[in-house]
Chain A
Amino acid sequence: MFDISLWDIVRNLLLAARWTVLLSLVAFICGGIAGLAVLFARVSAFPWLRRAMGWYIELFQGTPLLMQLFLCFFGLSLVGIELSPWEAAALSLTLFASAFLGEIWRGCVEAVPKGQWEASSALAMGYFQQMRYVVLPQAMRLAVAPTVGFSVQLIKGTAVTSIIGFIELTKAGTMITNATFRPFTVYGLVAVFYFCLCYPLSLLARRLERKLHAAR
């Protein structure tokens, strides 16, 4: 058996953690952009679009992330679209994030009082002007804390991509365990890594929540 030092374990986990971070970032940014589209569809004037987007959201909120990942990875290959583990991971997490972020943001837009829409209508502002200058600035304030909170869920969610062989933190942990037979040490370290990524964000979300609630 090789002699693998603690430092070797940490170093390998650190290298793998880069992929966890990268995957989280990609999913958050792409999911955020797609989430904006989901948001606008959900608050649009067209009932059919609102309903269709409602189903999209139900689909992603009502099934396990793992199933979504399998569908992207194995399902798409059945119809001839071969994705690498990285592509499948990024795609499924992006879709997942877009549904959740879109729904979080819809709640924030709808929390802006009706009087704000009426006052801006009475000033002859059009729909996009109302959104841009009156509603979204207020909704954004409400959205910051839950959005940061969701990013924590997303980082932890990246762990499931280890199942399809994408080498991020969890998968690296499994591989190192297989080589070292020291599961407690390795998974303990993996947990510490996740904690170091997530805890600052949780803290930030809580502080923002308190701050923005106190402010106007």
Chain B
Amino acid sequence: MPLVELAAIWKSFGQNPVLKGIDLTVEEGQVIAMIGRSGSGKSTLLRSINGLERIDDGTILIDGEKIGSKDADLRTLRLQVGMVFQQFNLFPHLSARENVMLAPMVVKKASRKAAGALADAMLAKVGLSDRAGHYPDQLSGGQQQRVAIARSLAMEPRVLLCDEVTSALDPELVNEVLAVVRQLAKEGMTLIMVTHEMRFAREVCDKLVFMHQGRIHEEGSPAELFSAPKTPELAQFIGLVEAAG
């Protein structure tokens, strides 16, 4: 059974249809990269998967269970699906360690001690044990993003959604974050990531999804798609990106 199954997802913002019937299945342990032009609906799709956007039509199954739109359903969903944002969105009034501890304590009612131990383990995983007591504004962008990843991991999600997690970073900080993501992929974490890092996508992901005008225009293994794109849109997109990179 696939871990995530999306069927016929539709979503409009006012009169503007942004997702036009998306079907996608993600197996446990798979790493999916979503690419596509700006405005093609990648973020909206990702945000629909954890209920940050309410879909107009279609079904979302996580581990075979259908997710409704009631608040309780959304919270069950979000216990399974973590998300890391382009802008990090760390809590500025909490230290790195407290950022990671908060949700386990508040949502899962973990004791302070257990949450602290968990936070230390997660910060060690992203290589930031020595920054535990620092506040977000005392950390570089790359470090903030790694704390954000640790914060998501502390909730032990089955799937992690990553929306352009390196796009807000200075070029020299991109690799430290990608290294963490690569390590997660290696450990078998199920990942759905929107990315403009084509080389990284090609190396790490099992399946590449090309979005175009609110639809999945093409999907398949990265080797296939990069070497022999079937549609002119993908060919053009790859050409554009490689010309730019």
Q: Which of the residues B52, B79, B135, B155 comes within 8 Å of A118, measured between beta carbons?
A: B52
Name the CB-closest residue of B to A122: B83
Residues in B neighbouring A115, C-beta threshold 8 A = 85, 87, 89
Q: How far is the CB of B85 from chain A (nearest CB, A)?
A: 6
8 Å CB contacts to A: which residues of B203-219? none
A19 to B154, CA, bound (A): 54
Residues in A neighbouring B87, C-beta threshold 8 A = 115
Q: Are A124 and B78 in contact (CB under 8 A)?
A: yes
Is B181 an interface residue when CB atoms closer than 8 A count as contact?
A: no
Q: Are A122 and B106 in contact (CB under 8 A)?
A: no
Give 1 or 0 for each of B224-235: 1 = CB within 8 Å of chain A CB: 000000000000
Residues in B neighbouring A116, C-beta threshold 8 A = 89, 91
Report which B residues bind A (CB closer than 8 A): 50-52, 71, 75, 78-79, 81-83, 85, 87, 89-93, 102-103, 106-107, 135-137, 148, 151-152, 155
Q: How far is the CB of A131 from chain B (nearest CB, A)?
A: 11
Q: Are B89 and A119 in contact (CB under 8 A)?
A: yes
A115 to B168, CA, bound (A): 14
Q: Are A124 and B71 in contact (CB under 8 A)?
A: no
A137 to B137, CA, bound (A): 16
Q: Are A125 and B152 in contact (CB under 8 A)?
A: no
Is A61 an interface residue when CB atoms closer than 8 A count as contact?
A: no
Q: How far is the CB of A142 from chain B (nearest CB, A)?
A: 11
Q: Are A123 and B93 in contact (CB under 8 A)?
A: no
Q: Are A134 and B85 in contact (CB under 8 A)?
A: no
A193 to B52, CA, bound (A): 55
Name the CB-closest residue of A to B87: A115
Is A133 an interface residue when CB atoms closer than 8 A count as contact?
A: yes
Q: Are A121 and B52 in contact (CB under 8 A)?
A: yes
Top 3 A-B pairs, shortest CB-CB distance = A119-B89, A123-B103, A124-B78
Q: How many residues of A contact B (CB 8 A)?
A: 19
Name the CB-closest residue of B to A124: B78
Q: How far is the CB of A158 from chain B (nearest CB, A)?
A: 35
Residues in A neighbouring B92, C-beta threshold 8 A = 138, 216
A152 to B205, CA, bound (A): 61
Most B CB contacts (10 A, CB to CB) among A118, A121, A124, A137 go to A124
Q: Are A126 and B91 in contact (CB under 8 A)?
A: no
A138 to B152, CA, bound (A): 21
Residues in A neighbouring B50, C-beta threshold 8 A = 122
Q: How far is the CB of B51 from chain A (nearest CB, A)?
A: 8
Q: Which of the residues A113, A123, A126, A216 comes within 8 Å of B155, measured between beta carbons?
A: A123
A121 to B161, CA, bound (A): 14
Most B CB contacts (10 A, CB to CB) among A134, A138, A141 go to A134
A122 to B53, CA, bound (A): 11
Q: Are B93 and A121 in contact (CB under 8 A)?
A: no
Give 1 or 0 for each of A63-97: 1 = CB within 8 Å of chain B CB: 00000000000000000000000000000000000
Residues in B neighbouring A126, C-beta threshold 8 A = 71, 75, 107
Residues in A neighbouring B89, C-beta threshold 8 A = 113, 115-116, 118-119
A82 to B92, CA, bound (A): 51
Q: Are B93 and A125 in contact (CB under 8 A)?
A: no
Is A12 an interface residue when CB atoms closer than 8 A count as contact?
A: no
Residues in A neighbouring B85, C-beta threshold 8 A = 115, 118-119, 122
Q: How far is the CB of B159 from chain A (nearest CB, A)?
A: 12
Is A129 an interface residue when CB atoms closer than 8 A count as contact?
A: yes
Most A CB contacts (10 A, CB to CB) among B79, B90, B106 go to B106
8 Å CB contacts to B: which residues of A101-143? 113, 115-116, 118-126, 129, 133-134, 137-138, 141
A34 to B82, CA, bound (A): 37
Q: Are B93 and A124 in contact (CB under 8 A)?
A: no
A125 to B108, CA, bound (A): 10
Q: Are A123 and B135 in contact (CB under 8 A)?
A: no
A115 to B91, CA, bound (A): 10
Q: Which of the residues A119, A120, A122, A137 comes within 8 Å of B93, measured between beta carbons?
A: A137
8 Å CB contacts to B: which residues of A139-157? 141
